[in-house]
């Protein structure tokens, strides 16, 4: 058995649209998944829904955000930007020595078609400031619409992975592959500003052209699998 499949992934805010879809895909790939929420009851309900969809021996358990972060090897944050700081501060102590994956786009409603980055540069850089030096932060999935994650349909969007170290990015590229999507090492965490900003561009395209899941694809390069260099 692939050793990575023994890892436990906590999805904070995994009761929501993006988190539930990612949790489903990781559970399907064999990871042990913990759904985190402000309400353990809500998390338990979401975990049962995912287990029902998978109809198999997958492991998906619902609990609070803090317990999920404590028990996991890798912690993924999937909450709206308005809840980003509070959520990270509430689990900060549990993250030491772990890998944090941030999916957040710093949208500021109602102007979600316009790129509006926080003073740190991006949501991922802000996350790094909050969680501190003992935590590797990798940003990913910001351009992937939740629409087709909960199911077998191909998701027509590549995943640009930026982060605080090459090793951490490679680890997350493995997680991307496990979701069935194609990932690319997009460089240091400072580059996350471009990836997060692209989401406002995609939202604008959706609104202008009547779509709901516009995505991005990298062309002109090959062998994007994690660790293949
Ligand atoms: N939706 C997409 O297609 C998509 C695509 C790419 C990236 N993203 C990013 O993924 C993140 C989640 O997006 P989403 O659409 O999945 O969000 P969502 O469904 O609106 O919310 C996700 C979860 O966040 C928690 N939450 C909501 N408001 C909160 C608050 N005020 N304080 C603390 N927790 C709160 C809730 O969990 P509990 O109530 O269980 O605590 C909720 O189920 C965002 O940062 C977004 O930019 C989303």
Ligand 1: which of 17, 212, 213 to mutate, judged by most atoms within 8 Å of the beta carbon? 17
- Cα of 194 vs centre of ligand 1, distance in Å, is 21
Beta bridge partners of 183: 159
Considering only the C-alpha atoms of the chain, give the largest distance between any 2 of them, rounded to a whole number of Å.
47
pLDDT of residue 152: 87
Return per-residue pLDDT of the chain as tens, 229 residues. Answer: 555 568 999 999 999 999 999 999 999 999 999 999 999 999 999 999 999 999 877 899 999 999 999 999 999 999 999 999 999 999 999 999 999 999 999 999 999 999 999 999 999 999 999 999 999 999 999 999 999 999 888 999 999 999 999 999 999 999 999 999 999 999 999 999 999 999 999 999 999 999 999 999 999 998 556 443 3
Q: Residue 122 contacts by C-beta under 8 Å, 6 or more apart in sequence?
A: 106, 139, 189, 190, 192, 193, 196
Pocket of ligand 1, beta carbon within 6 A: 13, 15-19, 37-39, 42, 78-83, 87, 103-105, 107, 141-142, 144-146
pLDDT of residue 135: 98
pLDDT of residue 225: 63
Ligand 1, atom 19: closest residue by C-alpha = 16
pLDDT of residue 6: 80
Structure tokens at 200: 């406002």
- Cα of 135 vs centre of ligand 1, distance in Å, is 22
**Ligand 1 atom having least distance to the Cα of 104:** 45
CA-CA-CA-CA torsion sign (150, 156, 157, 159)? positive
- Cα of 219 vs centre of ligand 1, distance in Å, is 30
pLDDT of residue 57: 76
- Cα of 58 vs centre of ligand 1, distance in Å, is 24
- Cα of 50 vs centre of ligand 1, distance in Å, is 17
- Cα of 188 vs centre of ligand 1, distance in Å, is 25
């Amino acid at each position: 058995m692939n050793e990575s499949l023994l890892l436990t992934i906590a999805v904070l805010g995994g009761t929501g649209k993006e988190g539930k879809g990612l949790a489903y895909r990781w559970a399907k790939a064999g990871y042990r998944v913990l759904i985190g929420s402000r309400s353990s009851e809500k998390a338990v309900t979401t975990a049962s829904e995912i287990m029902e969809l998978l109809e198999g021996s997958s492991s998906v358990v619902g609990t609070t955000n803090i317990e999920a972060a404590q028990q996991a090897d890798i912690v993924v944050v999937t909450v709206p930007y308005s809840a980003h700081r509070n959520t990270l501060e509430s689990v900060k102590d549990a993250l030491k020595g772990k890998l944090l994956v941030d999916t957040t786009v710093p949208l500021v409603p109602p102007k979600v078609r316009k790129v509006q980055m926080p003073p740190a540069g991006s949501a991922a850089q802000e996350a790094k400031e909050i969680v501190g030096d003992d935590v590797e932060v990798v940003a990913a999935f910001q351009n992937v619409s939740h629409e087709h994650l909960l199911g077998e349909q191909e998701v027509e969007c590549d995943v640009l992975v930026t982060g605080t170290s090459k090793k951490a990015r490679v680890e997350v590229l493995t997680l991307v592959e496990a979701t069935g999507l194609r990932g690319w090492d997009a460089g240091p965490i400072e580059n996350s500003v471009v990836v997060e900003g692209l989401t406002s561009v995609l939202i604008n395209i959706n609104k202008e052209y009547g779509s709901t899941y516009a995505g991005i694809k990298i062309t002109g390069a090959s062998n994007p699998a994690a660790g293949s260099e």
